[in-house]
Chains A and B, each alone.
Chain A
Amino acid sequence: MYKSWWKIASILLLIYTVVGGFLMKVPALPALQETIRNLYFHVCMWFAMMILFTVSVVNSIKYLRTFNLKYDIYARHYAAVGIVMGALGYATGAIWMTYTWADPNNPAFQSFSALAREPKLIGAAIALLIYFAYMVLRDSISDMDKRARISSVYNIFAYAMLFPSIWILPRVMDSLHPGREGNPALNTSDIDSSMRIVFYPAVIGWTLLGVWITTLKIRLHLLKEKQLLS
Chain B
Amino acid sequence: MQRSRICIFAVKQIFISSASHIFTLFKKDLLLEVRQQYSFYGILLYIGATIFVLYMAIDEPEAKVWNGLFWVIQLFICINAVAKSFLQESKGRMLYFYSIASPGDFVLAKLLFNTVLMLAMSLLSLFLFSLFLGNPMQKIWQFTGLVLLGGWSLSLVFTFLAAIAAKAQQNAAIMAVLGFPIIIPQLLLLMRLSNAAFAPLLTIPVSTVLLLVALDAMVILLAVILFPYLWKD
A residues with CB within 8 A of B: 64, 122, 125-126, 129-130, 133, 136-137, 140-141, 146, 149-150, 152-154, 156-158, 160-162, 164-165, 168-169, 172-173
Contact pattern, B 143-184, Cβ under 8 Å of A = 1, otherwise 0? 000000000000001001000100111100010011011101
> Closest residue of chain A to B227, judged by CB?
A153
Asked whether, in the complex, the Cβ of B218 is within 8 Å of the Cβ of A136, the reply is no
Q: Which of A137, A164, A169 contacts B164 (CB 8 A)?
A: A137
Minimum CB–CB distance from A196 to chain B (whole Å) comes to 31
In the bound assembly, the distance between CA atoms of A125 and B181 in angstroms comes to 8
- Contacts A136-B174, A137-B174, A140-B168 given: A157-B226 contact, CB under 8 Å? yes
B218 touches A164 (CB 8 A): yes
**Inter-subunit contact A133/B177 (CB<8 Å):** yes
Using known A-B contacts A133-B181, A140-B170, determine if residue A157 contacts B188 with beta carbons closer than 8 Å: no
Interface residues of B, Cβ cutoff 8 Å to A: 157, 160, 164, 167-170, 174, 177-178, 180-182, 184-185, 188-189, 192, 208, 211, 215, 218-219, 222, 226, 229-230, 233
Could you say which residues of chain A place their CB within 8 Å of the CB of B164? 137, 150, 153-154, 157
Which residues of the other chain, B, contact A126 by a CB distance below 8 angstroms?
A: 181-182, 184-185
15 A-B contact pairs sorted by A residue (CB < 8 Å): A126-B185, A130-B182, A133-B181, A146-B167, A149-B229, A150-B164, A150-B167, A150-B168, A153-B230, A158-B181, A161-B182, A161-B215, A161-B218, A164-B185, A168-B211
Shortest beta-carbon distance from B98 to chain A in Å:
15
Q: Cβ of B168: which chain A residues have Cβ within 8 Å of it?
A: 137, 140-141, 146, 150
Contacts between the two chains (Cβ within 8 Å), count: 76
B208 touches A172 (CB 8 A): yes
Which 9 pairs across A and B sit closest by C-beta, in order of nearness?
A165-B185, A129-B181, A130-B181, A161-B182, A126-B181, A153-B226, A133-B178, A133-B177, A141-B168
Query: Using Cβ atoms and an 8 Å threshold, which residues of chain A touch B215?
Result: 161, 164
CB contacts (< 8 Å) of A158 on chain B: these are 178, 181-182
Within the complex, the shortest CB–CB distance from A92 to chain B, in Å, comes to 22
Closest-CB distance, B206 to chain A (whole angstroms): 14
Q: How far is B229's CA from A218's CA once the two chains are assembled, in angstroms?
A: 24
Cross-chain contact A160 with B181 (CB below 8 angstroms):
no
Return chain B residues, CB-CB under 8 Å to A165: 184-185
Structural contact, B185 and A137, CB atoms closer than 8 A: no
Shortest beta-carbon distance, A57 to chain B, in Å? 12
- Since A146-B167, A158-B182, A161-B185 are in contact, a sample of 18 more A-B pairs with Cβ atoms closer than 8 Å, ordered by chain A residue number, is A126-B182, A126-B185, A136-B177, A140-B168, A146-B168, A150-B168, A152-B229, A153-B226, A153-B230, A154-B178, A157-B182, A160-B222, A161-B182, A164-B215, A165-B185, A172-B188, A172-B192, A173-B188
Contact B188 A140 (CB under 8 A): no
Chain B contacts for A133, CB-based, 8 A:
177-178, 181
Which B residue sits closest to A119, measured CB to CB?
B188
Chain A residue at minimum C-beta to C-beta distance from B226? A153
**Complex contacts, B188 vs chain A, CB 8 Å:** 169, 172-173
Measured between beta carbons, the chain B residues less than 8 angstroms from A162 are: 182
B103 → chain A closest CB, angstroms = 12
Chain B residues with Cβ below 8 Å from A122 are 184
In the complex, chain B residues whose CB is within 8 Å of the CB of A152: 229
Residues from chain B with a CB closer than 8 A to the CB of A153 are 164, 226, 229-230
Tell me if B192 and A150 are in contact (CB < 8 A). Answer: no
C-alpha gap A161/B180 in the complex (Å): 12
Nearest residue, chain A, Cβ from B208: A172
**Given A129, A140, A149, A172, which contacts B174 in the complex, CB threshold below 8 Å?**
A140
Residue of B nearest to A138 (CB): B168
The one of A136, A141, A156 in contact with B226, judged by C-beta atoms closer than 8 angstroms, is A156
Q: How distant is the Cα of A124 from the Cα of B157 in the complex, in angstroms? A: 20
Closest Cβ of chain B to A162, distance in Å, is 7
